[in-house]
Structures are given as structure tokens and as C-alpha cells.
Structure 1
Amino acid sequence: MTRILIRAAQDPTVALKAMASAERMGANAGNLLYANAVARTLAARSNRVETGAFDAHLVDRAAWVRKINKRYDHYVVPLANAFRYKNGASLEAMTELVRALDVPVTVVGVGAQATITAASDDARAIRMGKTGGRKLPSAADSAFHDDRVRAFVEAVLEKSTSFGVRGPVTKAYLVGLGLPDERIDVIGCPSVFTWGPEFRVHKGNGPVTEASALSMNIDYRVRGIGAVIERNVALYPRLTSVSQDLKSARMIITGEEQFDMTRRDPRTPVHTAHPLFRGGRLLFFASPWGWIAEMGRMQFVFGNRLHGNIAAILGGTPAHLLAHDSRTLELARYHAIPYSTLDEEATPPTAAELWDRTDYTAFNEAYPGRFGTYIDFLHRNELVTAYDGRNRLPRFDRSIRRGQATPAVVSGHK
């Protein structure tokens, strides 16, 4: 029996109350999707899988090191955009944690975050930016951050066979830092592989009309998104939006303002006077399984939140990503998720226009090979998966039924 600890903000089998969930999701509900996916993938009978240690590198690191070394045989770390510039101190602390461990450490699916042009330019020259921002760190600050990234990857490679990244841009960045090409594996985002090798997305019937059940996921920090929101809210009376960030979740749950609106576009739904909030069309899901289930009832989903679209895909609903940085673009390209970029749009696109551009043929054709690459990566790092023989998938799937049935908290309904 291999005892595995997955770094995760929540236990995938436990349905928390709304505020407790909001405060334990790492500030973004998308974090829960990929950690939950890894837990399901590792639900083999030869594994005993537990989740936790999300803040182990920040709170009593020495105690966590002792606990992990004593209780577990493998530490699995799903990560998102952990290489972003603002995450440097946390990355440094995580490096120290990894160095002190005696067990294998496998990082699953980390990505770089830079401007959208980095996905096509020389990725070795990336300077990490931030979502919604154009200001880049200085060359000296970038070099200091690069040293932190390199140290983290080197620490992990001392405890593993290879290092899993989300896409080729991130791999090129790491190789450009002098890290070994043959030990950096491009595996995509584990969340996409939640349901296993047979999963496919089918578009269904159109067209999109004003009567369609639609959902738009929104990162309010991204330039240009306000106009897209305004146009689509006016056109589609059944359009809803699932909020993923902590402040928006608090606003929905409490009905109280959370944002300084002198610094935010009022067309974004981050205030209680917004039409989506007032119309009860702004939602927060305490359970990511409930989020996926609700997206499965939509005809079409679109927006600039990567995992907002992946939640729809996992529900079997076609989604269209409005890519806005290197991490969203490299994953859309790797998984063949239909996408557009806002800077290509002459006018704010409507749901109907994005629907007409959305085709999942390439996604479905690529999926088996991408899934196989992901499983091969886990095998390379000596992890047995639920798809290798005897598994606990029926048991796991029964354990998440309560989460799947957990409804959204609806704005304006305390």
C-alpha cells in the first residue's frame, strides 16, 4: 500500500458550507478542480490517498516535514501558475519544504504566467507578469525570480524522475533556465483528465438565442472584459456567471461590498448594483463537483477564466475560452480547447458568435493521446493510477455525490 499525500486546499469527498469553502480554496475555486482530478486519478486499490498540506510551506514547515516523512510514501503537488512573479516568496518556502522531505515529490501541471505574446515569442526570455497587468518586473528582479524558480524545480528533481508542466511555453522557459530538457514533461492540466480515458465533449444543438441557458466566467482584472460582459448581459436574460475568487464569493454569500470600485470597471460584476448580482444571476459553488454539475446543464459556456471553462467541459458542455495570457493560451493550444483572444476582437464578441466558432472535433481527437501522456508521466514517477487495473473509482464517485448535489449560493439571496 502506497501512502500518498496530495497537496490540496480541501478534501474532495467533503462538502463544506459556503463561507468555509470560500476561505479554504486558495483564493480561487479553480484550485480545487485540478487537485480533485489528481485525487480521482490516483484512486487505485494499491494507494491510500489523503489530501491536505496546502499551506504546509507557510505554517510550521518543520512540523509538516516530520509528518509527511513519517506518514506518507509520496507527496504529490498539483500546481497552477505557481511561477508567477508575485508568488516568489511562497515558492522559496515550498523549495525549503521539498528539500527537507525524505519521500518522492511529484509536481503535476505547473505553468508560467506572462503576457499572451510569450506563448509565441521566445519563452526563454519570459518575464513573469500578473493577470490583468502590463507592468513587468525589472531585469534584475526577473533574474532573482528566475533563480527562485530554478531552485524549486531542482529541489523537486532531486526527489522525482521528471517535472510536470502545463505546456510547451513553460517547458521552454525552464529549459532556458538551464534545467534538463529530458526531465521536463509537458502534461497539460490534470483537471481536464478528471473523468478518465473515454471522456469526450459533444456540441449538441444550436443556435444560441436569447432563450439559451448560458454561463460566462469572468476574471474582472483582465482589460477589455467589461465591454464583453456588458454586451452579453444585455442580450441574454438567462446568462449566469459563476464567481471563482474569494472576494466575489464573500460578496455573494454576505451581500456586502468587497471591492474598491474606484479601481474597478463597474461593468464587471464585483459590486451589488451590477445587473448580474441584482438579478440573482451571480453564483458561487461551495463544491467544485456541484459547479461541474451545474455547468453540465448549460447549452454553452464562455469567458476568460481557464477553470471556469474547464468546469463546463467536465460537465460535457462546450466552452470557449477568451485567452488573455501565456498560461491560458498554452493550455488552450495543448488541449485543443476552442479559444479566441480579446485583442483579436474588433467588437466585443457575443455568445452566439463564439458558439459559431466552437468546435470540439480537435479536442476529442487529441484527448486520448494527451490522456496517455499524462498517465505515462505518473508512471514515470512511480505512481499507480486508477486506470492500471483494480481501482476505487466507484467508491470515489459515490463519495462526491453530496458535493454534486450541493446547489449554488445565489446573489441577493442570503
Structure 2
Amino acid sequence: MKKRILMRASVSPFAVHKPIDVICQKVIGNNTGNLLFAYSMTRTLYTEDVEIDFLADKEVAHGKVQAEYINENYDYLVLPMANSFRKQFMQCMGMWTSIIEKLTIPVVVTGIGIQMPYEPDVTEEHIYDECAKKFITAVLNHSASVGVRGAITESYLKHLGFGSNEIDVTGCPSFAMFGPGLTVRDKKPLTNESAVCVTGSVANPVNFKEFMIKNRELLPNYYFMPQFVDDLRLMYLGIPLPITNDSQVLYPHLINDEVFVNDRARFFINLPSILEFNKNIDFNYGTRIHGAVGSILSGVPSFVFPTDARIRELAEYHNVPNMPASEVDENTDIFDIYEKTDFSQVNDGHEQRFWHFVDFLNANGLPHIYQDKNRTVVPFDEKIKNIEFEGPIHSLTTCPPNEMIERIAFGNELLMKEQKKAVDTLNEDKKELKAEIKGLKSEQRKLNKRLNWYDNSSAARIAASRVKHKIVK
């Protein structure tokens, strides 16, 4: 009988979606980096004797799955995770905890980490500490240990009271995608003709944004690879990024930006298209760690500029060449960085890290493809090679007129729906506020009556006292 695994993932690696699905249904979550670790875990665990189903956070949050159903239908629950110890994820983590506490099957967590500043203080008190303790405790009741993404998260969990035997630094499972062999290509001279991928986000520090802009002129054959759904909305439909302090500063936030007009942006909504595109890339740099991982898995020399602890600990554990984004200034030279960097360092220790990850899977009793030492066929690869995925997505500005009109029309329709929803929400809030004000006014009238009665009663008592005093005299 086949073993059945339920895996946390925004989308199945085998699913084919269109850009509109990603925009309207958030089928990959908010960030395409989420694609890598679920893809890698599926490839690793998908044997001839295993079936894998997928469960998204939003389905858990909406109560669409119950612990009883999981117990009856699955042999394992596998949770590939990322920067889950953060305020914004508390509610979802609480939902997962409630489910896990009721399970009778093994639960395996990989790649979980904390979101903190680049120089973290793990001893500080965080609003999510208690939530994190409950989650990890629940998992450990069904697991040999918890796989964390790096030394910083390990220190944080130890500070919360967990022991060394309960925490296993395994990094991000995406690095284990293709097994113990990982070879970054020898670097070629970096010239203005080199094909360069740049990753970043709207929240990058200004100094790094300036660095990116400067490098556009130095390396004109660049491709900007944003990862967030808001960027896809902008590229595909022309909808401006939400107005924030970050989005208005040195970042492509309107469709008339030269990055889009000159067709220098590419958005990917599946991993096969990323890996295929990277075959022709000479160099990748930026602040997105999974942007770097996608390139490294394709053999591309890659350099990451961590902006916080979650990126830093992964880069350090997996030996990815890196430099803090905060240290970038007007004198930082991308050619100098490229020339001085040994990009092959990511290969150093990869095989040991990979087999350590496999030991973690074994300790937790998970079936995987590396149990068969003589394997020549990978079931995942056999299945996925027959699927036709959506290719790189280009900007609206590069479309033929008919397609451009269709995209703009859809974007306008989407905006009108969103505006109507926002207005309806405001009207509901207005009704609630009116009812609340009405209730407060009613309470105020009651209080005024009581105060008037008290004042009148007090005046009557004072008058009676005076009359009594005169009579006595």
C-alpha cells in the first residue's frame, strides 16, 4: 500500500496556472520564493510508493481541513516552512498548532526560521514567543526533531527552552533539490554583454536600490526578477504598486518605468521556467535568497546581499557568497565583487549538508528517493517533464495591441471590483460606527438623567436642611 503524505504548499508543483490565477487567487502565496522548498521536498519524497497531496495556509486559516480527516487519510504531515516566526504569521501558526495537537500521525517540519534584523538579539522578548513555543512543542510530540534554517533560529529556540537534540539545523530544503551534487559553473569575465539577473524588493534599503540602478548602465543586458504578486499585477496588468514610503523611492512602481518599457523584467510563476531561463544567465545578484538559490541550482555564479537575519543565516549555512546590504555604498563596485568572489564556495560542504538533511528525513521516518542507492529514475522528474508550464512573463508594455487591451481591460475590471469591495467594507464600518455612536449617545442620555436627578436631589436636601436650621433657631 502506498504511503500518503500531506504537504504544506501554496500550490502543487505539478499544477499549471496562468498569471491571472496567481494574481486573483494567490495560488503561490505572495512570493514566488515559496515555490522552491515545496518543489524540492516533493521531488525528494515522491517515490513510486508515495502519494502527495498539498495543503495551503489559506485553507487551514479558513478551517477547510480538520485533524480527524488528516489522521484518517494520511501517514505523514510535512511542513516545509520559511520565516514563520514573525508577528504576521502568528494567527496561521496558531491554526497549524491546533491541528497538530490533535494528530496521531508523524509531523515533520523543515526549514523553519525567524524574521529578525541582520544583527539579531534572540534574547529579546517577541510577541510571537509563546506562539512559537506552542507550535514547536506540538511538532516535537510527533517528530524526532525540528529542522531549522540556520544558527540564528537554533539560538532563538534554545533561548525558548528547547534542547539541542530537539533542534536540527538543516538549512532550506530547496538546496537539496538535486541531491548531493551541486556544481556552480566557472565564472566568465563580467562584461557589459553578460546576461545578469537582479533580484530585489520594494522594501530594499535606499542604498541598495541606488546600487541596482547604477548597475543597469554598467550591465545593460540585465533582467530584473521581482518575486511578489504586487509586482506581477504591475507587470501584467499595469496596476501601480500600493502607495507606501518604500514603493515611491527608486523602485519600479509604475508601468512606464524603463525596466518595463525596455523589456528588462521577467516574472516566473513556476519553477521549471525559472530553471530553464537560468541556463543562459551568467551572474545573479540581489537581496532575495531564493532568487539566488534558483540560480545556484542551475549552476549560475550567485551573490546575495542579506537585509535581515532570515537571509543571513541561510547564506551563511549554505556557504552562499554574501555581503550585508547595509554595507553597500556609492563606492561598491559590482565588477570588483564579481572578480574577488569564489562562487564555487557554495559547493564546499554541500554534500555533507545534503546527507545531514537525509539523516534528518530518516530520523523522522520519511520515505525518500535516496533510500534506493541504485536509483536511475526519479519519479518526480518523469512526471514533470510531460507538463507544459507557463514561460517567463513579460511586461504589459511589450505585448501586441490586442493582448495589451485585454490585459488593461481585465486590470480595470479587477480594480473596480476591489474598489467596490473596499467601499462596501467602509460602508459596513460606517454602519457599525453609527450604531456604536447611537449606543454611546443613549448611554450619555441615561448618565445625564442620573446626574440631573443627583443634582436635584442634592439641591432639595440642601434647601430642606436650611429650612430645618431656621426652624430650630
Please state whether the residue corresponding to 1:410 is helix, strand or coil: coil
Q: Residues 404 and 229 (structure 1 numbering): CA distance in 2 closer, same or farther, change over 3 Å?
A: farther
**TM-score relative to the length of structure 2:** 0.79
Checking the alignment, whether the CA contact within 8 Å between 1:233 and 1:276 is kept in structure 2 is no
In 1, the alpha carbon distance for the partners of 2:357 and 2:200 equals 28
- Matched to 1:21, the amino acid is V
Amino acid in the other structure paired with 1:269: P
Note if contact 2:202-2:246 (Cα within 8 Å) is conserved in structure 1: no
What residue is the counterpart of 1:38 in the other structure? Answer: 41
Aligned to 1:21: 22
* DSSP-derived class of the 2:51 partner: strand
1:195-215 deviation line (CA, Å, top 9, x unaligned): 11122212332x211111111
1:176-231 per-position Cα deviation (integer Å, ceiling 9, x unaligned):
001122110000000111111122212332x2111111110012202132211211
Per-residue deviation, 1:361: 3.2
Residues 45 and 367, structure 2, Cα contact 8 Å, conserved in 1? yes
C-alpha distance in 2, partners of 1:113/1:296? Answer: 31
Q: 1:228 is matched with which residue?
A: 211
Asked if residue 298 in structure 1 is aligned to residue 281 in structure 2, the reply is yes
For residues 149 and 392 of structure 1, the distance between their equivalents in structure 2, rounded to whole angstroms, comes to: 41
2:349 is paired with a residue whose SS is helix
Q: Is 1:215 matched up with 2:191?
A: no
* Alignment partner, residue 407 of structure 1: 391
Kindly state the Cα deviation for residue 60 of structure 1 after the two structures are TM-superposed.
Answer: 1.6
Matched, 1:70 2:54: no
What are the Cα deviations for residues 300-359 of structure 1, in whole angstroms up to 9, with x where unaligned? 000001111111111111110011111111111100000111222342644423322331
Any idea what the Cα deviations from partners look like across 1:250-274, whole Å, max 9, x if unmatched? 1111122132165524421232232
SS of equivalent residue, structure 2 residue 31: coil
Query: In structure 2, which of residues 47, 52, 73 is the aligned counterpart of residue 49 of structure 1?
Result: 52
TM superposition shift of 1:107? 0.4
Q: Residues 75 and 257 from structure 1, CA distance in 2 versus in 1: closer, same or farther, beyond 3 angstroms?
A: same
| Worse-matched range after superposition: 15-24 or 155-164 | 15-24
Report which stretch shifted further, 310-319 or 404-413.
404-413
The C-alpha deviation readout for 1:21-43, integer Å capped at 9, x for no partner, is 35211100001110100000112
Q: What is aligned with 1:201?
A: 184
Aligned pairs for 1:168-179 (under 5 A) are 168-179=151-162
Q: Which residue of 1 aligns with 2:13?
A: 12
Aligned to 1:330: 313
Q: Deviations over 1:266-308 (max 9, x none)?
A: 4212322322111111111121220122122100000001111
Point out the more displaced range, 303-312 or 395-404.
395-404
Q: Which moved more, 1:300-309 or 1:224-233?
A: 224-233
Q: Please give the alpha-carbon distance, in whole angstroms, between the structure 2 residues aligned to 1:391 and 1:381.
A: 22
1:237 match: 220
**1:326 alignment partner AA:** A
- The answer for unaligned runs of 5 or more in structure 1 is 127-138
Aligned residue for 1:330, secondary structure, equals helix
Q: Which moved more, 1:90-99 or 1:364-373?
A: 90-99
Q: State the TM-score, normalized to the length of structure 1.
A: 0.90
Does the C-alpha gap of structure 1 residues 266 and 7 become closer, same or farther in structure 2, counting only changes over 3 Å? same
- The residue type equivalent to 1:199 in the other structure is L
CA 1:312–1:402 in structure 2 vs 1: closer, same or farther (change >3 Å)? farther
Q: 1:393 to 1:111 in 2, by over 3 A?
A: farther
Equivalence for 1:146: 129
Higher RCO (CA < 8 A, seq sep 6+):
1
Farther-moved stretch of structure 1 (228-237 vs 101-110):
228-237
Taking the aligned partners of 1:349 and 1:100, their CA distance within structure 2 comes to 53
* Matched AA of 1:401: K
The equivalent residue for 1:289 is: 272
Which runs of 5 or more residues in structure 2 are unaligned? 405-473
Quick one: which of 123, 126, 136 aligns to 1:125?
A: 123
> Kindly tell me: are residues 383 and 17 of structure 1, through their superposed partners in 2, closer, same or farther at Cα, counting changes over 3 Å?
same
- Within 1, Cα distance between the matches of 2:388 and 2:282? 19
Would you say the 8 A contact 1:226–1:267 is kept in 2? yes
- Tell me the equivalent position of 1:394: 378
- Number of residue-to-residue matches in the alignment: 393
**Is contact 2:241–2:247 with CA below 8 Å preserved after alignment?**
no
d(CA) in 2 for partners of 1:405 and 1:256? Answer: 25
- In 2, distance between residues paired with 1:84 and 1:262? 22
Q: What does residue 343 of structure 1 align with?
A: 326
Which amino acid letter does the alignment assign opposite residue 31 of structure 2? N
Q: Could you say which structure has the higher helix fraction?
A: 2
Q: 1:327 to 1:263 in 2, by over 3 A?
A: closer
**Distance across 1 between alignment mates of 2:281 and 2:333:** 16
User: Does the 8 A contact of 1:106 with 1:156 survive in 2?
Assistant: yes
Provide closer, same or farther for how the CA distance between residues 68 and 286 of structure 1 changes in structure 2, counting only shifts above 3 A: same
**Which residue is equivalent to 2:114?**
112
Q: Is 1:209–1:236's contact at 8 Å kept on the other side of the alignment?
A: yes
Match in the other structure for 1:135: none
Deviation string, structure 1 residues 387-407 (Cα, Å, up to 9, x no partner): 111769533113333668632
**Aligned AA (1:19):** I
Question: What CA distance in whole angstroms lies between the structure 2 residues aligned with 1:282 and 1:15?
Answer: 22
Q: Which amino acid counterpart does residue 382 of structure 2 have in structure 1?
A: R
RMSD of aligned C-alpha atoms? 1.9
Alignment of 1:233-382 (within 5 A): 233-260=216-243, 263-347=246-330, 349-382=332-365
**Structure 2 letter corresponding to 1:124:** V
Q: CA 1:181–1:100 in 2, change beyond 3 Å: closer, same or farther?
A: same
Amino acid at match of 2:11: Q
Name the CA distance, whole Å, in 2 between partners of 1:69 and 1:304: 40
Residue 409 of structure 2 is matched in structure 1 by: none
